[in-house]
Amino acid sequence: MTAPTAGKAAGDGTPISFGGVTYGKDLGVHAPSEVVYHLGGTADRFTALVGIDDFSTNQGATGATKASVRGDGKVLFTSGKLTGAGGPVQVDLDVRGVKLLHLVVEEANANTALDHTSWALARVTVR
């Protein structure tokens, strides 16, 4: 999936990028969002870079979001406030035994225009 563009259909966005580095087709969302993966307790690790996509920054947006990863209802990771100027945050989690993995993005300010947050290089390592 690519980073979404404002007011358009899913799948019509630009390649995901942070600070001019392009990551291709991973997972781009708009706050608020929640994506759930069924791991079934068989995965070992979840890794990703999460941040405000360059698309938002290049549009002059001052978007801000917060990302979290939850496993079976337990918070495994919280990003703190994400902004385009701050760059992406590395996620590297032990998810052994987790059945449902939730990737959650919430708004971090009142202006939700162009709060495009991307999960680049998102990978689950399975036994």
Residues 76-91: b if buried by 16+ CB within 10 A, e if exposed: bbebeebbbeeebbeb
Span 61-102, pLDDT tens digits: 667 899 999 999 999 999 999 988 888 999 999 999 999 999
Whole-model pTM? 0.85
